[in-house]
Amino acid sequence: MDTPNNLILPALILVPFIAGFICWLVDKLDDKLPRYIALVGMLVTLGLTVALWQGASYNYELGAQVPTWSAEFMLPWIQTLGINIHLAVDGLSLLMVGLTALLGILAVGCSFGEIQKNVGFFHLNLLWSLGGVIGVFLAIDLFLFFFFWEMMLVPIYFLIALWGHKGSNGRSRVYAATKFFIYTQVAGLIMLIGILGLVIYGYMMSGTISFNYNYLLAVANTLDAQLPAVAYAFMICLFIGFAVKLPVFPLHGWLPDAHAQAPTAGSVDLAGILIKTAAYGLLRFVIPFFPAASAQFADIAIILGLIGVFYGAWCAFQQTDMKRLLAYTSISHMGFVLLAIYAGNILTYQGLMIMMLAHGLSSAALFIMCGQIYERVHTRDMRLMGGIRGQFQYLSFFLMFFVAALVGIPGLGNFIGEFLILMGSFEQFPAFTIIAAISLVFAGVYGLILIHKALFGVPNEEQKQHYANPLKDLNAREVVILSICALGLVWLGLYPQTFLDISNSSMAWLANSYIPVQEVVEVTQEVTAQLENVEIQ
């Protein structure tokens, strides 16, 4: 019999879907109604996440071959192919779902003033993309995981194509949306090759077709031990699928245009949530499925990450469009994600957890502020913004606060995440860690460039008509949205143990399942025996 905690899992996915559909149905009745329905839907989703947090234990069983799930929900679906609606949650997925629900509330809130046409259909797409992301975090049947992985892309395509705006480089919103869709679809197909390869190999070994996580984990581990070349190929297929979404250099081409043309809520969705699904996929599937192959690939992955760190920072220096600058900072920060994942110890994994939460809040807040500035001065070109500090009391404070968070000022969440990652990876990869630490200086530089160009200096001649009459500062709704992000970052910076305790069991299992690069040895027949013992549900 399903317990209340287990029944919460499908509800977390269904609530955004149902709320989004209702938003679309009531669009013709009143423009404001869809906004409040969407807000209530995401508040309910966050409330369910908190209930799951309070009502389940997150303990690690020493020596466990599979993750210790705190709650599970399973419903038969396509049984002939071994496909079930199988949802489960542990500390890692719970925190990601919580971040998605919180940023979903902020995305709805920041759209109140910006979105004025087709409001119901906008919120349908926004909430369905959020529901798809939550499905990605909860699905442990790999067919279901892939279904949600592809499904969440379609609403985001419409968000950019229908409600986006022309970028500073003249490219259209449809161009950006199409580029995003092609990149992610091709990557998804490559990932599907890896998943189907595992399923077929499992069928060849045991005569059973199944997409069950525990079963495919045993299949992949066996493959990793017996046929390392094939395992490496499947691992690369999965890695490419996730690397495009992260994004990893040189697969990042879709991100700057998608961010620059997306509406504010779309940018919050992309930067705060969507790229976290890629890091989650690497942690949930690539590392535990192919520990030896991942260890062999670690140097390449980290070098790509470090190239991305410096490339993203360098491109950020060149930008005059505030949104494009922030997009390139995301590419830069994701280099730390690869360093943390492939260093493969509990310290880096816990640091990654804090960094994902903190980056989600800080980048989402900065993209929200881009939208707020655009509403007031009608440009995102920092060359035209000089001197706006004197016009805005609250906006200037929040912009400086979130830039400080993004560059890793001590006392805020980003610093804790980066510090733990550097501490944990130094013993494993000292040279790479030192290079990554040097890159933090570049983060400070592009942060100062953004602050200096946007807030200080002399107002541009073209903008003088806006300064003749005092511009309106942030209203109460906007202050509340930004205050939530600010409080979250302070909480992560001063009391990170709150979140570390939740994720510790998941990260401990991952760290134990990963084979560090110095210890890649022949795996004994004990791994092969997992196939005989694993329980296929």
Taking residues 75-104, what's their average pLDDT?
Answer: 89
CA angle 485-378-396, nearest 5°? 40
User: Tell me: the pLDDT tens digits for 144-190?
Assistant: 999 999 998 889 888 888 887 765 454 678 888 888 888 889 999 99
Residue 471 DSSP one-character state: P
Beta-sheet strands, E only, within 225-345: none
Domain housing 239? 4-533
Where is average pLDDT lowest: 28-32, 296-300, 459-463? 459-463
Q: What is the pLDDT of residue 3?
A: 66
Asked if residues 367 and 422 have their Cβ atoms less than 8 Å apart, the reply is: no
Q: How confident is the model at residue 280 (pLDDT cuts 50, 70, 90)?
A: very high
Nearest of 370, 387, 350 to residue 165 by alpha carbon: 370
How many Cβ atoms from other residues are within 10 Å of residue 506's Cβ?
27
Asked if residues 278 and 243 have their Cβ atoms less than 8 Å apart, the reply is: yes
Q: What is the pLDDT of residue 162?
A: 85
Q: How confident is the model at residue 457 (pLDDT cuts 50, 70, 90)?
A: low
Asked if residues 4 and 55 have their Cβ atoms less than 8 Å apart, the reply is: yes
User: Tell me: the pLDDT tens digits for 383-437?
Assistant: 777 777 767 778 888 888 998 888 888 888 888 988 899 888 888 888 888 888 8
Q: What is the pLDDT of residue 406?
A: 85
Write the CA distances from 285 to 69, 140, 141, 289, integer angstroms.
Answer: 15, 10, 11, 6
Taking residues 73-82, what's their average pLDDT?
Answer: 86
DSSP letter for each residue of 126-193:
HHHHHHHHHHHHHB-BHHHHHHHHHHTHHHHHHHHHHH----TTS--HHHHHHHHHHHHHHHHHHHHH
User: Tell me: the pLDDT tens digits for 22-42?
Assistant: 988 887 777 788 888 889 999
Mean pLDDT of the chain, nearest integer: 83
pLDDT over threshold 90, residue 447: no
Q: How confident is the model at residue 472 (pLDDT cuts 50, 70, 90)?
A: confident
For a pLDDT cut of 90, what percent of the chain falls above it?
Answer: 19
Domain count, the chain: 1
- Does 290 or 532 have the greater pLDDT score? 290
Write the CA distances from 431 to 54, 250, 438, integer angstroms.
Answer: 42, 22, 11
User: Tell me: the pLDDT tens digits for 478-535?
Assistant: 888 899 999 999 999 999 888 888 888 888 888 887 754 434 444 434 444 454 555 4
